[in-house]
Amino acid sequence: MDKLDQYRVFIQVADMGSFIKAAHALELPRASVSAAVQQLEASVGVRLLHRTTRHVQLTADGAQLLERVRLLLTDVEEIDQLFQVRQRQVSGQLKVDMPSRIARRLVVPALPGLLRSHPALRLALGSTDRAIDLVQEGVDCTIRVGELHNSNLVAQPLGHIAMINCASPDYLREHGVPEHPDELADGHVCVGYASPTTGRELLWDYLIAEQQAQISVSSRMIVNNAENYISCCCAGIGLIQIPRFDVQHLLNAGTLVEIMPEFRAAPMAVSALYPHRRQRSRRLVTFIDWFKALMQPHFEP
């Protein structure tokens, strides 16, 4: 293993805090990962990592080297691509995570075009509705919808998607059509949605006079994923708030009906997050640009 590969292994171990996780992410034997770090330590003449039975931590020298080799490997990749302008080939594996509904409804149907345009690209797509640890799970980029919490990740805003209030025709025939959120406390039932991070049922949001307001609503059913949330609404169990793109086909078919259009929730931000600004590889930039163009028709103007 050459010095650059040793650097790559060292970065992976340092980021993941584990030789085993790094070996899995790099698809290398654990012994090869351990040997690469030992060889690197021998060549630079200092200990780079503190090893315990449960965790691996950087030494002061290791932290100093880590930042330098990140920059070095980014420069190496840029040099490798310097004379590939003509073919502009995007290659290698990119691990991406995103909400399951965006993956299933929008991204997967459009992937054949992306893969045809970049035949050397290999995409590993994860679909979750929870916030993941990119470094620990070896993910290059995640797409997140909604408010972002403080983190060390680099966030690239992409746009905002419209939110709407929905009900099924059967529900409206039985309970009537609400015209204002204040009516939700009187004879109406909503489908509860449990926050993926806290597990608590989310409040009902809406804008009034351009100010955001929240109310607690009655619910007889609480779910923790978008598929069940929409299915409960279609079954007439209660009202929901949902991104328009998620249910546009159901609105077109008359399976769901928009209600209280004057009192929608604020549009939700869509962002791409990745660990380090200097690790914006060509494949990462290509994917984010492609994804943003794919989402553009669903973004608020």
236 and 284 in a single domain? The answer is: no
Residues 108 and 252 grouped into a single domain: no
Nearest to 48 by CA among 63, 35, 33: 63
In the beta sheet, which residues pair with residue 259?
165
Instruction: Say if 197 falls within a structural domain.
Output: yes
Using DSSP, state whether 101 is helix, strand or coil.
helix
Judgement on whether residues 70 and 104 belong to the same structural domain of the protein = no
Classify residue 251: in a domain, yes or no.
yes
- For residue 157, tell me if it sits in a domain: no
Whole-number pLDDT of residue 130: 67
Residues 252 and 167 in one domain: yes
Q: How many structural domains compose the chain? A: 3
Compute the 3-state secondary structure of the chain and give helix, strand, coil in percent, each to the nearest 5: 45, 25, 30
> Within the chain, where are the H helices?
3-16, 19-26, 30-44, 60-82, 100-102, 108-117, 134-137, 169-175, 226-234, 244-253, 282-295
Helix (H, G, I), strand (E, B) or coil at 284: helix
What are the backbone dihedrals phi and psi of residue 50, each rounded to the nearest 5 degrees, phi first?
A: -90, 125
Cβ burial, residue 61 (10 Å; 0-12/13-18/19+): middle
- What CATH number is given to the structural domain containing 21? 1.10.10.10
Per-residue model confidence (pLDDT) at position 82: 60
Query: Domain with 199 in it: what CATH number?
Result: 3.40.190.10
| 34 is a domain residue | yes
Per-residue pLDDT for the chain (301 aa), expressed as one digit of tens each?
788 888 888 888 888 888 888 888 888 898 999 999 999 889 989 888 988 767 788 888 888 888 888 878 777 766 666 655 445 578 888 999 998 889 998 999 999 999 999 998 999 999 876 666 777 777 888 998 888 776 678 889 999 999 999 999 999 999 999 999 999 988 899 999 988 777 788 889 999 888 889 888 888 899 988 889 999 999 999 999 999 999 999 999 999 999 999 999 999 999 999 887 555 678 898 999 999 999 999 998 7
**Domain termination site, one of 82, 106, 133:** 82
Token reading at 118: 């970049």
- Does residue 260 sit in the same domain as residue 286? no
Q: Which domain holds residue 254?
A: 163-266
Tell whether 168 and 109 lie within a shared domain: no
Domain-terminating residue out of 63, 82, 101: 82
User: Is 261 inside a domain boundary?
Assistant: yes
Q: At which of 45, 62, 82 does a domain end?
A: 82
Is 194 inside any structural domain? yes
Reported pTM = 0.70
User: CB-based contacts of 97: which residues, under 8 Å, 6+ apart?
Assistant: 125, 126, 127, 128, 132, 134, 137, 139, 141, 142, 143
The pLDDT, as a whole number, for residue 88 is: 59
The answer to whether the CB of 284 falls within 8 A of the CB of 203 is no
Single-letter residue type at 260: M
Taking every pair of Cα atoms in the chain, the longest distance, rounded to a whole number of angstroms, is: 77
